[in-house]
């Protein structure tokens, strides 16, 4: 692996931790919804890549990627829905 790629990856981890830790709790629900939309686009891209896979290894890795992406999208929407239920007024 190229050292520049590894260096950028490590910097991205630190930047991500700093950005997420500064988000106020009231903004977590809209942030989750936006992240779920981005993961939906990533899932669609994974499906397109899987459609062009030629080797069995590429097909297997693409299948696993689509399964994990689907679980991430649907799980994220379930968590967002549960968070929104907490803000509803009880009768």
Q: Is the full-model pTM beyond 0.85? A: no
| CA separation, residue 60 to residues 5, 47, 72, 78 (Å) | 25, 12, 18, 27
Question: What is the predicted pLDDT for the residue at 11?
Answer: 93
Domain borders along the chain are: 26-86
15-65 confidence digits (pLDDT tens): 988 887 887 777 766 777 677 777 888 888 888 888 888 889 888 888 888
């Amino acid at each position: 692996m190229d050292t520049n790629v590894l260096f950028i990856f490590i910097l991205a981890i630190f930047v991500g931790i700093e950005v997420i830790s500064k988000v106020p709790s009231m903004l977590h629900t809209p942030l989750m919804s936006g992240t779920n939309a981005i993961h939906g686009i990533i899932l669609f891209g994974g499906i397109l890549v899987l459609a062009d896979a030629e080797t069995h290894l590429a097909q297997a890795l693409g299948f696993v990627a689509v399964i994990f992406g689907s679980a991430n999208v649907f799980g994220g929407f379930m968590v967002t829905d549960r968070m929104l239920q907490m803000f509803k007024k009880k009768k």
